[in-house]
Amino acid sequence: MTSISPPVLEIRDLTVDFLSDDAPVRAVDGVSLFVNRGETLCILGESGSGKSVSSATVLDLLDMPPAEIVSGQILFEGRDLAEMTFDERRQINGRKVAMIFQDPLAHLNPVYTIGAQICEVFRAHRICDGAEARRRGLELLKRVGIPDPETRFDRYPHEFSGGQRQRIMIAMAIALEPSLLIADEPTTALDVSIQAQILELLLDLQREFGMALVMITHDLEVAAAMADRVIVMRRGRIVESGEARDVFTDPRDDYTRRLMAAIPSHDVNDGRRSTVPATENLLDVQGLTKVYQMTSGIFSPPRSVAAVEGVSFQVGRGETLGIVGESGSGKSSVAKMLIRLVEPTAGRVLLHGADIYALEGADLMGLRRKVQMVFQDPYSSMNPRMTVEAIISEPWRIHGDILPRSRWRGRVHELLDLVGLNPDWATRYPHQFSGGQRQRIAIARALACDPELIICDEAVSALDVSVQMQVIDLLANLRDRLGLAYVFITHDLPIVRNFADRIIVMRGGKVVETAETQTLFTAPRHDYTKSLLSSSPRPKWERMREQASNAS
């Protein structure tokens, strides 16, 4: 009789509380799951669903207190982790179970080179040191696709792009060829093409080492591309589990069905674009250029780097213009120049025919009222010591002549109601809201000046998929009701496909293609645009069916 090997990881009836001044908060409630060798399990759910807390218990990463494991077992290769000694647990963490975190820059030490941090993995587990550790570190950097690893081995984390930092984190995680790899939102902040490279790298490493992979994500398209099985969590509980294809194509739970309905449609005719054609030209950007002078040291001559080069476009009243491109393409630099946070090297930006760079004094303050911005991270763009009422009313304090003080509170309540928030929450502080609610507050603040144009710089990138669509629906509704125009900057192609009227594609600071949304997605002309569109994740079961068909 052949014995059946146990799952690499099995969690049985796990319950975790967080202690507070009032009653304990139940973060995980009776969760049971397993993952086998060579299998990918995706844990889905919105922020606060308990998915990250469940995985953190495996590596003993929770601070206790305030966290408290109330009940349950965590079995690794059949052994209960709670019954292991400290030394036994240390032999597992990092060596047999490794983790990739969402924000690599926050988890890499900024004062050590990336080579030193990779070598530390070998030293900490007493595998090797010195020249041998360096040799293995260089091999890992090559394996995860870091260019010129011999030169870059001794560089620091800030000298790498976001995608490269994530590859460095992966190199550290696979250094000891673990049996289980836990990836917590590993691609959330990455461009679509970089995301595709990271996902393909994880699949290659899984095939090479036979690892079990647990991927935690709120990105449903990523989960469909990676998962063999799926678990859906809500409020600390598992509401649905099963084979990935079954969960995505025939969900049983109402919450799962709502999640799947929030996935942006691939039909370019099924969108939230403006139903009224733009008849008046609001913004005219002509040959916008920004060149930075960079130096490598006091003895090196300066070199010129063009962040934006010759960018031109127009935005009509009531229109949404999408700007897409990878990190470093110049999207955010364009946004900063549109609101004069950065002065251009050359070019003009005309608002109602007036060059905004010629404005001074009161005229410049008038520009600030007409053009507002919504940033990617609303929490970092708000003063944590100010109430929501103070945050939204701050523009009136600055401009002085928009609204009498006696009407401030009433108008704050009107704006909160307009963006779908309870007006009674005006006395709360930013930390008391979810990410999606904070973004709604940021939108309310942008509306306080009655602007004509709002620039959204990755305004929904960090939000859960259902919250993303709620914010997009809100923006579309406000556009139609108030006649707003948007410049919507994003790397998320499904979102821009369902929201923008026209799209410009940027690469290396230049515009490589401009087209109506439907035309761009159905008949792209530029090779770079085609590569971006082809990078969007495709369900795993579709790829496997194609491979089987080609093989036959």
Residue 9: band (very low, low, confident or very high) from pLDDT cuts 50, 70, 90: very high
**Cα–Cα dist 99/214, whole Å:** 9
- The encoded tokens of residue 107 equal 């988890």
Asked whether the beta carbons of 471 and 444 are under 8 A apart, the reply is no
Strand order in the sheet with 303-316: 303-316, 281-294, 346-351, 354-355
Residues in the chain: 552
Q: What is the mean pLDDT of residues 173-190?
A: 83
| pTM for this predicted structure | 0.74
**Cα–Cα dist 501/76, whole Å:** 51
- The encoded tokens of residue 410 equal 């009433």
Poorest-confidence range of 39-43, 282-286, 459-463, 522-526? 459-463
Q: What is the mean pLDDT of residues 326-334?
A: 83
Asked whether the beta carbons of 258 and 467 are under 8 A apart, the reply is no
| Residue 488 scores a pLDDT above 70 | yes
| Residue 189 scores a pLDDT above 70 | no
What average pLDDT is seen over the chain?
Answer: 84
Q: What is the pLDDT of residue 294?
A: 67
- CA nearest 391: which of 340, 315, 444, 433? 444
Q: What is the pLDDT of residue 547?
A: 63
Residue 40: band (very low, low, confident or very high) from pLDDT cuts 50, 70, 90: very high
**Cα–Cα dist 260/224, whole Å:** 11
Strand order in the sheet with 180-184: 97-100, 180-184, 212-217, 40-44, 229-234, 237-243
Q: What is the mean pLDDT of residues 91-117?
A: 85
Q: What is the pLDDT of residue 61?
A: 82
**Cα–Cα dist 458/445, whole Å:** 17
* pLDDT top residue among 243 and 330: 243
Task: Summarize pLDDT for 509-545 with one digit per residue, the tens.
Answer: 999 999 999 899 989 999 999 888 887 777 777 766 6
Asked whether the beta carbons of 77 and 8 are under 8 A apart, the reply is yes
- 142-151, 311-320, 536-545, range with greatest mean pLDDT: 311-320
Asked whether the beta carbons of 485 and 452 are under 8 A apart, the reply is yes
Residues ≥6 apart with Cβ < 8 Å to 316: 278, 279, 280, 281, 282, 485
The Cα angle at residue 420 between residues 419 and 422, in degrees rounded to 5: 115
Q: What is the pLDDT of residue 551?
A: 64
Q: Decide: helix, strand or coil at residue 479.
A: helix
Q: What are 26's strand-pairing partners?
A: 17
Task: Tell me the DSSP string of 186-231.
Answer: TTTTS-HHHHHHHHHHHHHHHHHHT-EEEEEES-HHHHHHH-SEEE
| Residue 257 scores a pLDDT above 80 | yes
- CA nearest 214: which of 99, 71, 81, 386? 99
| Element spanning 507, H or E | strand 502-507
